[in-house]
Structure 1
Amino acid sequence: MWGHFKNKVMNWFNVDDESSQTHYKTNDKINNNSEKIETKMLYQYPKRDSFQFPMPIDQPAQKRERSQPASNNQRRANRAEHVREQEQIASKRPPFRVQEVPSPVHGYQKKIDLDINPINEPAFLRRKEQDTLMVEAERKEIIELKTEPALQEEAILGANPEVEDVQDLPDSQPVLAKETNQFTDTKQTLRTKQEPFNVRMRPSDKYKHQQAMKRREERVSVPVTANPIQTDRFLSLLSTITRVNGEDNQWLEQQAKALIETLAQFNVKARVVNVMQGPSVTRFEIQPESGVKVSKVKNLSDDIKLNMAAKDIRIEAPIPGKHAIGIELPNNKARAVGLKEILSHPTFSEASSPLTVGLGLDISGRSVITDINRMPHGLIAGATGSGKSVCINTILISLLYKATPNDVRLLLIDPKMVELAPYNHIPHLVSPVITDVKAANQALKWAVQEMEQRYQKFVESGTRDIERFNQKMLAQNRPDLKMAYMVIVIDELADLMMMSPQDVEDSICRIAQKARACGMHLLLATQRPSVDVITGLIKANIPTRIAFSVASQVDSRTMLDTNGAERLLGKGDMLFVENGARTPLRVQGAYVSDEEIEQVTAYMRSTGEPDYLFAQEELLEKMDQADSEDDLFAEALAFTVENNSISTSLLQRRFKIGYNRAARLIDDLERHGYISGQNGSKPRTLLVTPDEINQSHSN
């Protein structure tokens, strides 16, 4: 045992010696190898200059960016840039417009709606009906199957003599053929199917759809026209005034003798050359001897009136184109002149112009017929009860008789509210009769805009006046673009001039200066022909004058620039100065009663419905909106169109206004339909195009 233990201890010491020897051997090998390795290194040091860091071969170090908190100004600038970018993006987008998209199944065709009747009957009743229908259908089939072989057997056998007689008739076989054809047709109709929809949209289908839409728009744009006026029917509505034939020669001789004696008393030797008796006045044409001054006869007017015991006299010295002086004396009995007498005259009925108007009879008894197109504007003045309103009614009924609504349209302004009321709802009217003074001012402004639009159409078509424009449209087969003449009648100008004199005068002068060529004509009436009502500018632009009895020479000079209207008799007695005439013509105006006016207007209402272009209420609403609108509304609208969107803060910055005013502008734009409604904090978008805005402003 001790020997074994001893051997183990000896083995331990032997292992340590071997490990140390191997360690020494390995170290010797490493030392021998290290002696064989030769290292070669290159060192570069700066000689004189300082050593620079970093070296050129080194990469530059990256600088760390430290985020600093932004200031308030930087935040506002960034926010403004963000808003600008959004506005630029929004401006590039066009406004939303509803477009018609073709259906992938139906195309532009309408979907066929099946007639689905609501089920109001209970189920057991419907079952009974179905059973009865099935039984009837089976009976019909059995009857058809039975009748066909029976007919064939009868045709083959031919034993019955009655059938032979029927076969001899030529109409028997076609009857049977018709029955069989009907039977086969019904079967064919049962077999036919509904044609499939045109699913594929071809260019030809799109073109046909566009043409159909154009035709539909043309049908809608054509106004309702009245039926052609029956002249006999129209004239039968007017009453006939009996005319006294012949002249009172005895009275004429007495008056002529008394006139010569009166002139002789004042040493004026003259003789009566001719006598003309009119409806209410007789004119004696006297020829004075040589050496007698005309002014001497004129100055004797009051003396002649005294000696002749006349109501009033008028001296025309001399008569144009004659070697005579006319002295006009009133008749003992004045004769009324009916409008039917004027309208049935060949001169009036054969006139081609739709603006032909009958006024009355002159001193010689001839019909006085004029054309508004030659006037082209008229001024009517006279005292109350002198016949001014009757003259307006005569002109209007003449226009209704002569022209259709496609030829002449009427704009009636009646501040008196009762004179022109019977003409409401006739097809010739542009709008209902305007009775409000404020609406009348707006109506005149509308007429000015209509005049400008007509001239713009003349420029586009290359024409000068309305006649050539209408001829060109008819030659191009476009009768729907034909323009109608427009007559604007103002019954009492003094009320309008008292309300807003400057605006009314400006509108009247603009129409009177330019509107003749575009077919618009003015007829102004007033009972106060003073300078503040009939201003010099209005009188200079209206050449045609109709003067009734006035109170003084001043009013006569205001109207006619001469005396004479103060000596008229009233009740339709007028002085008519036509365009280009130097001397007035004395006319007895035609009379129209209220019953005749009501009958004529009722007949005109039966011929067609009116096609109004605007109403009095619309004019008043526009005027209220114009008063309530902000001065910056037009600029705000232009700014909205430019940016394609708008907000209250944007208006505040752009126009330097407060929040309340900017919010009111936004509300006004939304009320007019220019911008969208509120959408949270987003800006409001533009809903209309610039062309639509320009068109709405022009209208």
Structure 2
Amino acid sequence: MVYQYPKGEFRFPLIPDGQKQAETKPALHKTPIPRQKPRAHSKNAEAPKFEKKRPFRPTDVPSPVFAFQKRPSRFEFNVTKEPESSDVIEELVAVVEPMQEEVESEFVAALEVESEPVVLEEIEEISPVVEEEEIMQQEEIPATPQRIELIHEAPKPEKIEQPEPSTPPKTRIPFNVMMVNQDKQHVEQKRAIVEEPIIATGEEPEIAPVFPTEQHLREDASGYYFPSLNLLKPPVFENEDAEWLAFQEELLNETLENFNVSAKVVNVTQGPAVTRFEVQPEKGVKVSKITNLTDDIKLSLAAKDIRIEAPIPGKSTIGIEIPNETSRPVMLSEIMNSQAFQTSKSPLTAALGLDISGMPIVTDLQTMPHGLIAGATGSGKSVCINSLLISLLYKATPDELKLLLIDPKMVELAPYNRIPHLVSPVITDAKAATAALKWAVEEMERRYQLFSHAGVRNMEKFNEYSSHPEHSGEKLPYILIIIDELADLMMVAPNDVEEAISRIAQKARACGIHMIVATQRPSVDVITGLIKANIPTRVSFSVSSQIDSRTIIDTGGAEKLLGKGDMLFLPSGSSKPVRLQGTYVGDQEIDAVIAHVRNQAEPNYLFKQEELLEREIAKEAEDDLFDEACDFVLAQNGASTSLLQRHFRIGYNRAARLMEALEKHSIVSETNGSKPRDVIITREQLEKVRDN
């Protein structure tokens, strides 16, 4: 086999190194295609020209039956009308003439008068008819007022015909001057004003007051006028936001469904500041399953804070309280104008606020009988105290109630100075406050001694006993002690203050002495167990922690309050607190009421703050062993500091102070070196000194 190999003559094709010429492609020439714009957007389209300042003219549309001829008039009901007398027409002309200027301004175009007179269906609604003139004549109208004539013709009596289905008759009155029902009402109102006889007496009409003036006219037997409710600001009312309530209810139901809780909202109650949704769980659902969803419900509803009351006392539902979008203030006048406050006969009735359902809540200090108010700074304690005081001034006379006000802050209760209800001026010194509490304890003991001699049990019976002609005695008033800041007093003299408050709270109710204590530091060292045990009624405003809430009302919940008067009220004998929106009273209202009360009588103080301070200093300077030391040195016929130390078993400092007091009262002589001091007074002289 022979193989033939290539001889190597094959040459690969070589590409020449010449310049490359770009291939020319035919250019795409776009020919403009004219587009036709719609006539509505065409610039050359002729816009309709509207005539300005021309009255409207109804155009005649040719009828397919009557063409441009006059159509026969048809009426739904042809009612016979009796012709009226000329007196009615004269009255109508007299009524329309004062309204000429208003008619000219309201009706620009005149009505065209046809050959037949225009008679309206109702006689009282006769409108002026004016002939229609040309446009050029209207522009040349002189400035003199025109007289509007009434054209009235009584129609001939016709028989009542059955209604025929027909189209409404064509009217010749343009639509822009037709009198609709609303215009007729305005004309009737103006006509009624014109027809009413006005008697020029020169006196302005009396404006009805916001509140009834019966309260201002109420007078006590002693000539004391109670303040008027008009001195207070009127209440503020707002409508319920139904859309927001429905939206929140839907969100709450959806949240419970998402967490597999078989419960639904059955009732919604909107209060002044919060709204309560009553959730009813199905059978077999634990209450804790809903209460554990507090944070989840707050997240779903995007609420500031919520409070769950499980269950609501007296109901088989769980209350979920959510803040409103906008809260309304509860004015003091709203509570004082309520039936609950007006019908109360007790002179110690005080206003508190509104509950969630909108019911006014008042309290009687006789059944209270002592109260504790606590809360953080700015939560509404001082406003609550002012509301209590103002409401008491509307109920009690100076002969029925005396006030002992203790204000270590010096500014909150200062406006109440110089009112006739005060026992003393407002006490601002801590030492004087301690002495005032001791005075209250002494007054309590004195009253019980009077009750014992009279053989009565309480103050009401004693006043009845004293008012009897056979028994001449004093009529005892109620005494209310208000302490605005207890923490300040507890820092100065904790033992004395706690002892005095405890004694008053334990046994002062029957003798007509009541006490309200307020503090912004609800700690255990301020509100001790002894004070809490003797003060059953408590009011808690917003606090910072659950521990403070338990200190005040023995349960949690006050840490979730909103502030600004939102409170939990725990009445005496109740185990669960009630949520209230406290009343608000402004400085102007307080000043107005106090100014009225000051004008009624002058204050009759039993003591003053300076006298209490002097008495307290004198008690501190005088030792309890002074009388015994006097008898001892007279018996020994000599005195020395070491002798007093050994006999009375006291320290050197106290014995030295006793020796200085004996020397000051001229009982012993001055120092005689190391020898004992001489006694320079006899027994008879000592008795005279004690009597003085």
User: When the two structures are superposed, what TM-score results if normalisation uses the length of structure 1?
Assistant: 0.61
State the match for 1:234 in structure 2: 228
Contact kept? 1:648, 1:662, Cα under 8 Å: no
- Cα offsets for 1:484-509 (capped at 9, x unmatched): 11111000011111111111111111
State the match for 1:521 in structure 2: 514
Matched, 1:448 2:441: yes
State the match for 1:531 in structure 2: 524
Q: In percent, how many aligned pairs have the same letter?
A: 59
- Cα offsets for 1:330-364 (capped at 9, x unmatched): 11110101111111212112211111111011101
CA distance, structure 2, for counterparts of residue 436 and residue 226 of structure 1? 36
CA distance, structure 2, for counterparts of residue 649 and residue 421 of structure 1? 55
State the match for 1:192 in structure 2: none
CA distance, structure 1, for counterparts of residue 490 and residue 393 of structure 2? 29
Instruction: Give the direction of change, closer, same or farther, for the CA distance of 1:549–1:636 in structure 2 (3 Å limit).
Output: same
Contact kept? 2:536, 2:572, Cα under 8 Å: yes
CA distance, structure 2, for counterparts of residue 660 and residue 364 of structure 1? 66
Residue pairs, 1:481-496, within 5 angstroms: 481-496=474-489
Matched, 1:382 2:375: yes
CA distance, structure 1, for counterparts of residue 349 and residue 247 of structure 2? 40
CA distance, structure 1, for counterparts of residue 270 and residue 492 of structure 2? 45
Corresponding letter in the other structure for 1:571: K
Q: Secondary structure at the match of 2:563?
A: coil
Corresponding letter in the other structure for 1:323: S
CA distance, structure 1, for counterparts of residue 389 and residue 398 of structure 2? 13
CA distance, structure 2, for counterparts of residue 329 and residue 292 of structure 1? 22
State the match for 1:217 in structure 2: none
Contact kept? 1:630, 1:665, Cα under 8 Å: no
Matched, 1:243 2:237: yes
Contact kept? 2:236, 2:328, Cα under 8 Å: no
CA distance, structure 2, for counterparts of residue 226 and residue 605 of structure 1? 18
Instruction: Give the direction of change, closer, same or farther, for the CA distance of 1:434–1:345 in structure 2 (3 Å limit).
Output: same
State the match for 2:388 in structure 1: 395
Instruction: Give the direction of change, closer, same or farther, for the CA distance of 1:554–1:688 in structure 2 (3 Å limit).
Output: same
Residue pairs, 1:296-307, within 5 angstroms: 296-307=289-300
State the match for 2:661 in structure 1: 664
- Which residue among 610, 617, 638 is the counterpart of 1:624? 617
CA distance, structure 1, for counterparts of residue 597 and residue 399 of structure 2? 14
Per the TM alignment, residue 684 of structure 1 is displaced from its structure 2 partner at its CA by 6.3
Contact kept? 2:330, 2:584, Cα under 8 Å: yes
State the match for 1:189 in structure 2: none
State the match for 1:596 in structure 2: 589
CA distance, structure 2, for counterparts of residue 372 and residue 688 of structure 1? 48
Contact kept? 1:556, 1:562, Cα under 8 Å: yes
Instruction: Give the direction of change, closer, same or farther, for the CA distance of 1:663–1:533 in structure 2 (3 Å limit).
Output: closer
Contact kept? 1:647, 1:684, Cα under 8 Å: no
Contact kept? 2:225, 2:600, Cα under 8 Å: no
Residue pairs, 1:323-342, within 5 angstroms: 323-342=316-335
CA distance, structure 1, for counterparts of residue 420 and residue 470 of structure 2? 25
Residue pairs, 1:538-557, within 5 angstroms: 538-557=531-550
Per the TM alignment, residue 241 of structure 1 is displaced from its structure 2 partner at its CA by 3.0
Matched, 1:635 2:628: yes
- Cα offsets for 1:233-286 (capped at 9, x unmatched): 431211113322x42212111111111111111111212221111111111111
Corresponding letter in the other structure for 2:344: A
Matched, 1:458 2:458: no
CA distance, structure 1, for counterparts of residue 542 and residue 274 of structure 2? 14
CA distance, structure 1, for counterparts of residue 594 and residue 367 of structure 2? 26
- The higher relative CO (CA closer than 8 Å, separation ≥ 6) is in 1
Per the TM alignment, residue 475 of structure 1 is displaced from its structure 2 partner at its CA by 2.5
Residue pairs, 1:249-288, within 5 angstroms: 249-288=242-281
Per the TM alignment, residue 634 of structure 1 is displaced from its structure 2 partner at its CA by 3.6
Corresponding letter in the other structure for 1:342: I
Per the TM alignment, residue 514 of structure 1 is displaced from its structure 2 partner at its CA by 0.9
Instruction: Give the direction of change, closer, same or farther, for the CA distance of 1:291–1:661 in structure 2 (3 Å limit).
Output: closer
- Which residue among 499, 504, 507 is the counterpart of 1:511? 504
- Which residue among 552, 560, 563 is the counterpart of 2:553? 560
CA distance, structure 1, for counterparts of residue 556 and residue 333 of structure 2? 32
CA distance, structure 2, for counterparts of residue 485 and residue 509 of structure 1? 19
Per the TM alignment, residue 586 of structure 1 is displaced from its structure 2 partner at its CA by 0.6
Residue pairs, 1:181-260, within 5 angstroms: 228-231=223-226, 233-244=227-238, 246-260=239-253
CA distance, structure 1, for counterparts of residue 355 and residue 551 of structure 2? 23
- Cα offsets for 1:3-62 (capped at 9, x unmatched): xxxxxxxxxxxxxxxxxxxxxxxxxxxxxxxxxxxxxxxxxxxxxxxxxxxxxxxxxxxx
Q: Secondary structure at the match of 2:384?
A: helix
Contact kept? 1:648, 1:663, Cα under 8 Å: no
State the match for 1:344 in structure 2: 337
Instruction: Give the direction of change, closer, same or farther, for the CA distance of 1:664–1:649 in structure 2 (3 Å limit).
Output: farther
Structure with a larger share of its residues in helix: 1
CA distance, structure 2, for counterparts of residue 270 and residue 479 of structure 1? 69
Per the TM alignment, residue 393 of structure 1 is displaced from its structure 2 partner at its CA by 0.5
Q: Secondary structure at the match of 1:402?
A: coil
CA distance, structure 2, for counterparts of residue 688 and residue 405 of structure 1? 41
Per the TM alignment, residue 227 of structure 1 is displaced from its structure 2 partner at its CA by 5.4
State the match for 1:171 in structure 2: none
Instruction: Give the direction of change, closer, same or farther, for the CA distance of 1:688–1:293 in structure 2 (3 Å limit).
Output: farther
CA distance, structure 2, for counterparts of residue 257 and residue 372 of structure 1? 43
State the match for 2:105 in structure 1: none
Pick which of 267-276 and 658-667 moved more: 658-667
Contact kept? 1:572, 1:588, Cα under 8 Å: yes
Corresponding letter in the other structure for 1:382: G
Per the TM alignment, residue 685 of structure 1 is displaced from its structure 2 partner at its CA by 4.1
Corresponding letter in the other structure for 2:230: S
Contact kept? 1:226, 1:404, Cα under 8 Å: no
CA distance, structure 2, for counterparts of residue 484 and residue 608 of structure 1? 16
Contact kept? 2:626, 2:658, Cα under 8 Å: no
CA distance, structure 2, for counterparts of residue 533 and residue 659 of structure 1? 36
- Cα offsets for 1:362-385 (capped at 9, x unmatched): 101110011011111100000011
Pick which of 603-612 and 624-633 moved more: 624-633
Report the RMSD for the aligned CA atoms in angstroms: 2.8
Larger Rg over CA atoms: 1
State the match for 1:423 in structure 2: 416
Per the TM alignment, residue 560 of structure 1 is displaced from its structure 2 partner at its CA by 1.1
Gaps of 5+ in 1: 1-224, 641-645, 671-679, 694-699
State the match for 2:315 in structure 1: 322
Per the TM alignment, residue 230 of structure 1 is displaced from its structure 2 partner at its CA by 3.3
State the match for 1:432 in structure 2: 425
CA distance, structure 1, for counterparts of residue 683 and residue 591 of structure 2? 59
Q: Secondary structure at the match of 1:590?
A: strand
Contact kept? 2:256, 2:264, Cα under 8 Å: no
- Cα offsets for 1:455-510 (capped at 9, x unmatched): 11111111111111111112246575111111110000111111111111111111
Corresponding letter in the other structure for 1:427: P
